[in-house]
């Protein structure tokens, strides 16, 4: 019997090695969102910090698991998500919707911002999605510095110039609700964008909440000696009342809490759909922050009604809490009124405990 020669073996090995090297060279030049950072330099999008939710599979039928014998049926578990949509007046507004449970939280949130997409059947009356129809979310990459890189399809370019800021704001605020997302950067079909494709808004440094939402800067505002804050005013669609965020500017050097409250007392810009929830003559007397609880003291003009029926309106309370808890060091708000032992809400219940943002959101969802 003849033994197999060494040369054929060496030739086979060399052939395999050369094939591997060639394939490596072919793909080395391709650029994709997933390869912008090595795995040890970028976090995956399933590491987003968000409100605690039930874990899938924790409680039988409530977990969304299909019962035995029904393998392949769609899960019915849903999770509350905050999406930024556009109302009838063109304002970008947060709305909490029940979405199907998903491990790809960030990608799903953006997909539900697409017109004629899966959000269509869930839209509240008068609201619409903001991303152009047909837009696909091709990839997401959360970097160590908190930048979320979003890669979208070419269909993203099909929007009107007047909607450019609204699209940016809706995407930014929807994604930055998660604690470890600080800003977003935009790619289109694998290419980084330094400006928006229609109206040329600069975005090379990324977009964050510091860029504002529904921005309003008055003609007489001294931009150099002021700072941006976001305040919330009520708006109404039929019987539904909801809070609309508006970024405005207040003077530097003042008590920031008093300045935010004063911006609310001054009311929204005339000619908008926003409502003024505060009575004429209402004044903030003092503010005090202690361990995350901001105590506000007002004169009696803040209350509505007569005599023993005087109360703080639900809209005024919501505007105060939503606006002030938007500041990093404020977790809840307590309201006091000079000469009044216990401030009542519209239902006649005393406001004895500080009110949190989640209290307001839960109350408005009922």
The answer as to whether 17 is a domain residue is: no
117 and 236 within one domain? no
Residue after which a domain boundary falls, among 210, 239, 274: 210
Closest CA to 229 of 254, 275, 276, 263: 263
pLDDT digits (tens, 9 = 90+) for 145-194: 999 999 999 999 999 999 999 999 999 999 999 989 999 999 999 999 99
User: Which residues make beta-bridge pairs with 288?
Assistant: 295
Residue after which a domain boundary falls, among 171, 189, 210: 210
The answer as to whether 216 is a domain residue is: no
Per the structure, how many domains does the chain have? 2
Residue after which a domain boundary falls, among 210, 232, 255: 210
241 and 196 within one domain? no
99 and 193 within one domain? yes
Half-sphere exposure of 60 (CA within 13 A, CB side): 1
Mean pLDDT, residues 32-55 taken together: 43
Domain containing 171 equals 76-210
299 and 337 within one domain? yes
- Rg, the chain, Cα only: 26
pLDDT digits (tens, 9 = 90+) for 59-73: 333 333 333 443 444
CA dist 109 and 87 (Å) reads 18
The answer as to whether 218 is a domain residue is: no
158 and 251 within one domain? no
pLDDT digits (tens, 9 = 90+) for 99-108: 999 999 999 9
Res. 19: pLDDT tops 60: no
Mean pLDDT across the chain: 83
- % of the chain with per-residue pLDDT over 70: 78
199 and 230 within one domain? no
pTM of the full structure? 0.79
The answer as to whether 25 is a domain residue is: no
């Amino acid at each position: 019997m003849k033994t197999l020669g060494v040369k054929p073996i060496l030739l086979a090995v060399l052939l395999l090695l050369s094939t591997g090297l060639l394939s490596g060279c072919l793909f080395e030049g391709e650029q994709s969102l997933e390869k912008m950072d090595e795995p040890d330099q970028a976090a995956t999008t399933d590491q987003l910090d968000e409100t605690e939710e039930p874990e899938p599979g924790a409680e039988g039928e409530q977990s969304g698991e299909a019962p035995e014998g029904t393998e392949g049926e769609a899960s019915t578990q849903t999770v509350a998500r905050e999406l930024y949509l556009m109302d009838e007046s063109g304002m970008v507004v947060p709305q909490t919707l029940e979405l199907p449970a998903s491990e790809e939280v960030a990608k799903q949130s953006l997909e539900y911002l697409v017109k004629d997409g899966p959000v269509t059947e869930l839209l509240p009356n008068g609201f619409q999605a903001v991303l152009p129809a047909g837009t696909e979310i091709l990839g997401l990459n959360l970097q160590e510095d908190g930048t979320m890189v979003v890669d979208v399809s070419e269909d993203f370019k099909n929007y009107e110039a007047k909607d450019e800021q609204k699209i940016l704001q809706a995407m930014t605020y929807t994604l930055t609700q998660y604690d470890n997302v600080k800003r977003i950067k935009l790619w289109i079909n694998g290419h980084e964008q330094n400006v928006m494709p229609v109206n040329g808004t600069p975005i090379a440094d990324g977009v964050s909440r510091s860029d504002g939402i529904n921005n309003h800067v008055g003609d007489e505002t001294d931009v150099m000696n002021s700072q941006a804050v976001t305040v919330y005013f009520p708006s109404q669609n039929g019987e539904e009342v909801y809070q609309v965020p508006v970024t405005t500017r207040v003077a530097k050097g003042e008590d920031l809490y008093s300045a935010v409250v004063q911006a609310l007392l001054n009311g929204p810009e005339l000619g908008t759909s926003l409502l003024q929830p505060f009575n004429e003559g209402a004044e903030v007397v003092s503010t005090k922050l202690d361990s995350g609880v901001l105590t506000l003291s007002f004169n009696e003009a803040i209350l509505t009604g007569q005599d023993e029926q005087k109360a703080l309106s639900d809209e005024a309370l919501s505007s105060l809490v939503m606006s002030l808890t938007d500041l990093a060091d404020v977790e809840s708000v307590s309201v006091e009124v000079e000469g009044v032992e216990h401030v009542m809400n519209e239902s006649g219940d005393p406001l004895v405990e500080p009110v949190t943002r989640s209290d307001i959101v839960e109350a408005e969802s009922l």
